[in-house]
Amino acid sequence: MFIRSAALSLAITLGLALCSSSVALETTSRVTQTAGGNAAARTQLVRKLSAALANAKIHSAQRGAEVVDLATGEVVFSKHSRGSLAPASNEKLPITLAALTLLGSEYRISTEVLGEGEQQGSEWLGNLVLKGYGDPDLSTADLQRLARRVRAAGIRSVSGSLIADESYFDRHRTAPGWKSSFLINECAPLSALSIDRGRVTSASPPLVAASAFVKALAASGVKVRGRLRAGVASDEASSLASVKSPSLWKLLRFMNRESDNYTAELLLKQIGAYDKGRGTTANGAVEVRSVLADAGISLAGVRIVDGSGLSRLDRLTPEALSQLLVDVWSDSTLRRPFVGSLAIAGRVGTLSHRMRWRPTLGNVYAKTGTTSSASALSGYVRTRYAFVILQNGNPVSVDQAHVAQDRFATVLAEQ
Catalogue the long-range contacts made by 41-48 (C-beta closer than 8 Å, 24 or more residues apart). 42/76, 45/76, 45/77, 45/411, 45/415, 46/76, 46/77, 48/411
Alpha carbon of 244 to those of 58, 113, 269, 359: distances in Å? 46, 12, 17, 41
Phi, psi (degrees; rounded to nearest 5) at 62? -110, 15
Per-residue pLDDT at 2 exceeds 60: no
Question: What's the rounded mean pLDDT across residues 337-343?
Answer: 98
Per-residue pLDDT at 406 exceeds 50: yes
Per-residue pLDDT at 218 exceeds 70: yes
Least confident of 29-33, 222-226, 354-358: 29-33
How high is the pLDDT of residue 38? 84
Q: State the chain's mean pLDDT as an integer.
A: 91
- By C-alpha distance, which of 53, 142, 108 is closest to 388? 53
| 210-239 b/e (C-beta count within 10 Å ≥ 16 → b) | bbbbbebbeebebebeeeeeebebeeebee
Q: Which SS3 state, helix, strand or coil, does residue 164 take?
A: strand
First-last CA distance in the chain: 17
Per-residue pLDDT at 236 exceeds 60: yes
Per-residue pLDDT at 16 exceeds 60: no
Per-residue pLDDT at 102 exceeds 80: yes
Longest dimension (CA), the chain: 103
d(CA 183, CA 102): 28
HEC string for 211-249: HHHHHHHHHCCCEECCCEEECCCCCCCEEEEEEECCCHH
Alpha helices (H) along 280-343: 281-294, 318-329, 332-340
How high is the pLDDT of residue 56? 77
374-381 and 385-392 strand pairing: antiparallel
d(CA 376, CA 71): 24
What predicted TM-score, i.e. pTM, was given to this entire model?
0.90
Report helix angle 2-15 to 21-54, nearest 10.
Answer: 170
How high is the pLDDT of residue 201? 83
- By C-alpha distance, which of 378, 394, 391, 377 is closest to 325? 378
Give the number of other CB atoms < 10 A from CB of residue 33.
11
CA 28 to chain centre: 50
Question: What's the rounded mean pLDDT across residues 121-140?
Answer: 98
Give the number of other CB atoms < 10 A from CB of residue 408.
25
- Confidence band (pLDDT; 50, 70, 90) for 301? very high
How high is the pLDDT of residue 21? 37
Residue 402 · residue 354 · CB < 8 Å: yes
Report helix angle 92-103 to 248-258, nearest 10.
Answer: 180
Which of residues 17 and 413 earns the better pLDDT score?
413
How high is the pLDDT of residue 37? 56
Q: Which SS3 state, helix, strand or coil, does residue 348 take?
A: strand
Domains of the chain: 56-105+249-413 (3.40.710.10), 110-245 (3.50.80.20)
Question: What's the rounded mean pLDDT across residues 180-201?
Answer: 95
- By C-alpha distance, which of 359, 360, 364 is closest to 344? 364
d(CA 116, CA 110): 19
- Confidence band (pLDDT; 50, 70, 90) for 26? very low
- By C-alpha distance, which of 415, 341, 391 is closest to 55? 391
Phi, psi (degrees; rounded to nearest 5) at 70? -70, -25
Q: One-letter amino acid identity for 153?
A: A
Work out the percent of the chain whose per-residue pLDDT is above 70: 91
How high is the pLDDT of residue 15? 41
DSSP state letters, 127-151: EEEEEE---TT--HHHHHHHHHHHH
Alpha carbon of 176 to those of 78, 304, 305, 309: distances in Å? 31, 11, 7, 11
Question: What's the rounded mean pLDDT across residues 249-269?
Answer: 98
How high is the pLDDT of residue 275? 84
